[in-house]
Amino acid sequence: MQYNFAMNFFSLSLFLSAAIAGFVAYLAYRRREMPGAREMMWIMAALTWWSFSYGVENLQADFDWHLFWAYASYLGIAFVPYFWFLFSVRYTQIDLPAPVQKLLPWLLIFPIITIFVTWTNFLHGWMWSHIEIISLYGLNLQLVEHGPYFWIHAIAAYGFILAGTVVFIRYALNAPDAYRAQTASVLMAVLFLLGSNGLYIFKLLPFPGLDITPFTFTLAGLFLAWGLLRQGLLEAAPITAETILASLGDALLVTDSQNLALYANPAFRALAGLQENEVYNQPTTSILPDWPDIFSPSRGVITEALQFTLSGKIFNLEVQRSPILENQTLRGQIYTFRPLEERPTAPLAAAALPSRRNLPISLLLSAADGKILDLNSEFTYHTGYTREESLGKTALQLGLLDAETRASLLRVLYEKPNISDYTLYVHRKDGGSAAWQVSINVSALSGESFHLWQARPLLGSQ
């Protein structure tokens, strides 16, 4: 059989869309270690194939040629909704229940079934009950009547897309300023694709048989390329509030106003000998029956020394109680436990908290004014600055950074809100200096943006 190929504006435009989508897939591949990057890569690879195969399909008029490439295009079409949903889950790092996490790989069965039904359509007509080739302004297009399975596929596909979009919108509404431009670029791309595909499926376009979805890949790809190249998409990865609390190092327990435990970070669970599933929504008197009676709501910050014996070991801790206030209503308490000595006693270090040498130096700073909001005991250990003299001050006011170093750091953060493995020279209270390897992430808690520093002293700088 001899085919007569004729390049046309329609196919040329589709090849351009494929090139842009392929370029975005390459950019995502380069960032493949970041959350959501691999899923973004597979989305754009599938869109690349969809656009390319649709362009090849329209290079000539033979019916069998059109049919083969229509089948082939579903090797990309079928996977786009699934990978979009997976991308939204991975990128936003939403905390899904364990059974749902285990279910995610099994959802691949939907696109696989769609591909099987498509390639066997000639046997049953479940995907398309009727196909014919029509001519439109010199183009040869397929006019199809959809079969019963096509609507099952459409419901599943739009279910994936809408679920992923809801996850993304919820994240965008609470995201700090540093992430809003990123999420906007992704949502705009998805809305373009969703809108154009809906117009085609429900035959709302004035040109029968013309699927404009691949054309929108050009605009969608440009939005995503802008997000990747200019807004740090897949470079500035979001972090959750729970990740931040778990990283602070000190033992931390959060209760509500009725003394029900709401959260305990790994350091506290190690201290109390608790499993994660033994904490949530349990009274403190139930999960900590042998502890002193210190769990009582307070509207002010209270710091006190505590010594008690647990499992034959003596614990000397500083306990700080901080109220959780919402519109002047007491909602709960945050209890922070730290070793009373600068260097913890042997029983405490062995039985409760991880070794100092394995903990990062952690600092929580306001993104608005740079003031230190919280720190862990590793910060005090490595700098000599106490918690009391550090809170409420900037790194410059404290003396941790000099003006030149602070200015250089701010320039780096302006270009890239999140940085990793940045070498920073700091000043200790005793007048010495040290080199730290610092990672800084921007995130939000209760609508306020802040910087989380995680640092480790470089060898020989302690």
For the domain 240-356, what is the CATH code? 3.30.450.20
Please, where in the chain does CATH 3.30.450.20 lie?
Answer: 240-356, 360-462
Where is average pLDDT lowest: 141-145, 298-302, 307-311?
A: 307-311
Q: How far apart are CA 160 and CA 170, in angstroms?
A: 16
Confidence at 343, pLDDT banded by 50, 70, 90: very low
Q: Which residue has the higher pLDDT, 196 or 122?
A: 122
Residues of the chain with CATH 1.20.1070: 9-230
Residue 350 confidence (pLDDT) above 50: no
Say whether pLDDT at 349 is over 70: no
Contact between residue 440 and residue 419 where contact means Cβ atoms under 8 Å apart: yes
Say which amino acid occupies 12: L
Burial of 258 from C-beta contacts in 10 A (0-12 / 13-18 / 19+): exposed
pLDDT tens-digit readout, 251-283: 888 888 888 888 888 778 877 777 777 777 788
- For residues 397-408, one letter each, b for 16 or more C-beta atoms within 10 angstroms of the residue's C-beta and e for the rest, the string is ebbbbeeebbee
| 65 pLDDT above the threshold of 80 | yes
CATH number listed for the domain at residues 9-230: 1.20.1070
Other C-beta atoms closer than 10 Å to the C-beta of 415 total: 9
pLDDT of residue 235: 54
pLDDT at 242 (0 to 100): 57
3-state secondary structure of 339: strand
Give the C-alpha separation, 117 to 120, whole Å: 5
> Does the structure show a pLDDT above 50 at 9?
yes
Residue 85 CA to its chain's centroid (Å): 13
Query: pLDDT tens, 391-419?
Result: 888 898 899 998 888 878 887 777 676 78
pLDDT interval class at 351 (50, 70, 90)? very low
Instruction: State mean pLDDT over 337-358.
Output: 47
Least Cα distance to 209 among 131, 291, 92 occurs for: 131
Say if residues 418 and 441 touch (Cβ distance below 8 Å): yes
Q: Would you place residue 110 in the very low, low, confident or very high pLDDT band (cuts 50, 70, 90)?
A: very high
- According to CATH, the topology of domain 360-462 is Beta-Lactamase (3.30.450)
Q: Above 90 in pLDDT, residue 120? A: yes
Structure tokens at 235: 């470079």
